[in-house]
Amino acid sequence: MFTKKQQGVETIIGPDTLFKGELNSKGTVRIDGAFEGTLNADWIIIGEAGRVKGEINSRGIVIGGRVEGNINSTETIEIKHKAQVTGEICTQKLSISEGAIFDGHSCMQQQKKEAEKQRSEG
């Protein structure tokens, strides 16, 4: 999913770490511990042991653990087979593996842009 350029992980929240607050990164963030708050990064990887509660904004995200909250991605969201996601997700490309749990609503960015355009014209 990630190109060679995005493979380097700049920020890691380790398995025994709880981070509360707002995190902003221009690179890739990996969550293997717990995160509560707002997460803004170019690319995000949530490991199988990772837990996120809050809002996520990114270009792309791979979810292997649990997420409670809204996710906005300009490019892609991939939900792996052991992942659990609760909330609203908006993206251009969405992949949900067999066995994953997704409880919420999804919207595709193109559809969202067209709906906003129709509302502003009407």
Condensed to tens digits (0 to 9), the pLDDT of residues 39-61 reads 999 999 999 999 999 999 999 99
Pairwise pLDDT comparison (17 vs 111), residue with the higher score: 17
CB atoms within 10 A of CB 45: 23
pLDDT at 103 over 80: yes
Higher pLDDT, 118 or 4: 118
Residue 5 is predicted with a pLDDT of: 44
Domain of residue 69, residue span:
4-121
DSSP states of 37-91? EEEEEEEEEE-TT-EEEEEEEEEEEEESSEEES-EEEEEEEEE-TT-EEEEEEEE
Provide the number of structural domains found in the chain: 1
Q: To the nearest whole number, what is the mean pLDDT of the chain?
A: 89
| Residues written for the chain | 122
> Residue 105: its pLDDT value, please?
95
Instruction: Give the mean model confidence (pLDDT) for residues 77-103.
Output: 97
Predicted pLDDT at 8: 78
